[in-house]
Amino acid sequence: MDREPWRAWAVGLVFGSVVGLPVASFGPPQLMLSVGLVALAFLAARSLAFLSGAVTGIGGIWAALLIRAQLACDALDAAPNQSCQSSGVEPWAILSLTVFGTGLLLGCLVWRRRGERNGQDGSLSR
């Protein structure tokens, strides 16, 4: 997988999204299982690009679910005689965006490292 890091990243993104989805429903026990699955998959793939994709996928799916829940709550509030409160979402939003950003940062490091290994400086200009 190391020869095609962006394929590995895409596979990791899908894997992370699938693994991260049940965490929203089942909480910490599923989180531990998900972290274990990502660790095992990383050891099997031995690819930092895969790990970057997986972490990005987990954070992305969490952020998407939080945004979807907030939009549904806002839509319910717009209806007459309806009320919806989404209290305590901010820490989860910060966590999901932090995980998402960590995955993207790791992806940038993989890209830069690959550029340095190929004799390039890793920048966008060539």
Could you list the residue range(s) of the whole structural domain that residue 77 is in? Answer: 5-117
What is the pLDDT at residue 46? 87
91 vs 87: CA distance, rounded Å: 10
Q: What is the pTM of this model?
A: 0.79
Please check whether residue 58 is in contact with residue 15, taking contact to mean a CB–CB distance below 8 angstroms. no
Residue 19 within a domain: yes
Residue 53 within a domain: yes
Residue 122 within a domain: no
Read off φ and ψ for residue 116, nearest 5 degrees: -65, -35
DSSP code for 115 = H
What is the pLDDT at residue 125? 46
What is the pLDDT at residue 84? 81
33 vs 20: CA distance, rounded Å: 10
Residue 125 within a domain: no
Number of independent structural domains in the chain = 1
What is the pLDDT at residue 121? 52
What is the pLDDT at residue 88? 75
Low-confidence ranges of the chain (pLDDT < 70): 1-3, 118-126
Residue 126 within a domain: no
Which two structure tokens, joined as six digits, stand for 95? 């966590």
